[in-house]
Amino acid sequence: MAFYSSVSAAALEQLNLPLYERIRINIQTRLVEQGWDPAQAIPTEQMLAQEYQVSIGTIRKAIERLVQEGLLYKAQGRGTFIRQPDFKDSLLRFFRYRDQEGKQTIPTGVVKSIKKVAPIKTINNHLKLADHMELIQLRRLRLVGSNVVLSEQIWLPESKFAPLLRFAPHEFGNLLYPFYYQHCGQFILSAKETLSFTSEQEDEDLNAHQGDLLVNIERIAYNLENQPVEYRVSLGQPENFKYELRIT
Amino acid sequence: MAFYSSVSAAALEQLNLPLYERIRINIQTRLVEQGWDPAQAIPTEQMLAQEYQVSIGTIRKAIERLVQEGLLYKAQGRGTFIRQPDFKDSLLRFFRYRDQEGKQTIPTGVVKSIKKVAPIKTINNHLKLADHMELIQLRRLRLVGSNVVLSEQIWLPESKFAPLLRFAPHEFGNLLYPFYYQHCGQFILSAKETLSFTSEQEDEDLNAHQGDLLVNIERIAYNLENQPVEYRVSLGQPENFKYELRIT
DNA sequence: AAGTGGTCTAGACCACTTA
DNA sequence: AAGTGGTCTAGACCACTTG
């Protein structure tokens, strides 16, 4: 039983939850605590069944929810792996613009500036930071060709993301989240997005003046431990925005 | 085995699918074909296991997906029931307006007119109707107090919804889908929605002129057999629209 | 008290992947 | 060939709802 981590021994015994739920929590905790390699399989169902001294069906039930939530995926014959989230349902994906040939294109991201800034009360609240905690602020544009289709501001807790300050804007690639993971060990697993409208914002990159109506997408992104670690505001022109979903 | 409907005997034998999937399809078909009472439980897991001559675990696996998709829900100790969909994720739900006391309110629906109209090519396409099939058109407003917050146009296939033409606009209640089911036997199970923007539309109910930017929400709603049976366009002022979602 | 779905077991065999 | 997850069985007992 030395296998159980400190946190989980309590979780496994105390809570009035089904066995498979307690095991699910335990597995999730282990994955988060011990760090992990997205390329390497987690222990097999057989091994987990032995380790936890339960039947394999119970292990499968425990893992089922982790798969549904997107933390894991299964590959028959290979194993069960940590999943790289792709955010394919993000509202930002629905800003599609046509290039010269009329083809739909996903904008590329370019960081324009990065700096350390003083705490901002509302943003510290969003990130569940104490009032005195400093922030890192990025300005970033999303481009199709040379057209600016989205103008972004991003705030991160300085405590977790200080290593980013060593880089110049041009050293950031197209994608930010792999960069976060590589240099700060912060793995973004999920996010909450809000779509609304504003006519209060001015934005020279978007060529928008006070009074012009813009689409305003706020995102709070969460790491593996479900802590909010990024607050982002993206502004865009509404004309070419188109969002689809299926409901029941 | 007289229990199996005509459709399903084939489905159960022929397809190269897991047993629980073939049973799932069979159960789904039965629910759709035989009509049903949302207040009455479907056969118990024990009964289904006996009827299909499989173990109860297989029945549970078959029903699991129907529950996930929203067709059924389970109530421990009572049984498994057909679910009334609530469309709680609908984009339209995110038009929230404050009343005099500043409270958030969901708009009520009022039908302004209903009439039979000639085929409309794009709409017949959306509804997968032959070009010559006639339509029923409704105008409907969504109100908070006396403020118009959404202006809707709705098209239905005349072939399925003719009974609605007997009613005057004021006889339609706040909710349309129960009305469809009651009078036309069409049960709306799911829908696809698209959010975009238009400045092409004029709308006197919304007090919007050519050139004003409006939120445009299109919905195609599907019945139990997954046929598209309603096409709806809702227009609203963007100011108070706010939409949230969680992504991974 | 009777009946429902919820949890859990201890296997068996199959389908697929990798070496 | 060996190892993975996928399917399926035939039960047992528990938690909850209803008469």
> CA-CA-CA-CA torsion for A144, A147, A149, A153, nearest 10 degrees?
100
Helices marked H in chain B — which ranges?
6-14, 19-33, 45-52, 56-69, 121-126, 158-161, 177-184
Residue B2 lies in a domain: no
CATH number at residue A39: 1.10.10.10
* Contact check, Cβ <8 Å, B245/A85: no
- The verdict on A191 touching B (C-beta cutoff 8 Å) is yes
pLDDT at A9 over 50: no
Tell me the CA distances in angstroms from B24 to A154, A165, B55, one per residue in order.
46, 55, 14
Residue B138 lies in a domain: yes
Residue A245 lies in a domain: no
Chain A residue with minimal CA distance to B246? Answer: A192
Q: Are residues B45 and B68 in the same domain?
A: yes
Dump pLDDT digits (tens) for B220-245.
Answer: 999 878 899 999 999 998 876 777 77
Structural domain boundaries, residue A18: 9-82
Predicted pLDDT at A5: 36
A169 alpha carbon, distance to own chain's centre: 21
| Residue B184, C-beta contacts closer than 8 angstroms, at least 6 positions apart | B160, B161, B162, B163, B164
Query: Using CA atoms, how far apart are residues A47 and A54, in angstroms rounded to an integer?
Result: 10
Contact by Cβ (8 Å): A143, A173? no
* Contact check, Cβ <8 Å, B241/A192: no
Query: Using CA atoms, how far apart are residues A199 and B98, in angstroms rounded to an integer?
Result: 19
pLDDT at B3 over 90: no
Query: Using CA atoms, how far apart are residues B244 and A218, in angstroms rounded to an integer?
Result: 9
Q: Are residues B110 and B221 in the same domain?
A: yes
Predicted pLDDT at B4: 32
Query: Using CA atoms, how far apart are residues A61 and A21, in angstroms rounded to an integer?
Result: 8
* pTM, full prediction: 0.78
Mean pLDDT of B12-29: 79
Residue A129 lies in a domain: yes
Which of A40-54, A234-248, B9-23 is least confident?
B9-23
Q: Are residues B100 and B41 in the same domain?
A: no
Q: Are residues B201 and B109 in the same domain?
A: yes
Dump pLDDT digits (tens) for B177-226.
Answer: 889 988 998 888 889 998 888 887 888 888 888 888 899 999 999 987 88
Q: Are residues B146 and B215 in the same domain?
A: yes
Averaged pLDDT score across all residues of chain A: 85
Contact by Cβ (8 Å): A157, A133? yes
Q: Domain count for chain B, please give it.
A: 2
Q: Are residues B121 and B178 in the same domain?
A: yes
Residue A198 lies in a domain: yes
Dump pLDDT digits (tens) for A163-183.
Answer: 999 999 999 999 898 899 889
Q: Is the dihedral of CA B122, A244, B198, B151 positive or negative?
A: positive
Q: Are residues B37 and B91 in the same domain?
A: no
Residue at token pair 């994906």? A93
Task: Find which nucleotide's C1' atom is closest to B78's CA.
Answer: C4
Q: Which of residues 21-60 of A touch B (CB under 8 A)?
A: none
The residue out of B63, B82, B101 marking a domain boundary is B82
Q: Are residues B97 and B78 in the same domain?
A: no
Predicted pLDDT at B56: 93
Mean pLDDT of B104-109: 81
pLDDT greater at residue A244 or residue B2: A244
Q: Helix (H, G, I), strand (E, B), or coil: what is residue B100?
A: coil
Percent of chain B with pLDDT over 90: 43
Mean pLDDT of A23-47: 82
CATH number at residue A218: 3.40.1410.10
Contact by Cβ (8 Å): B145, B107? no
The residue out of B64, B82, B100 marking a domain boundary is B82
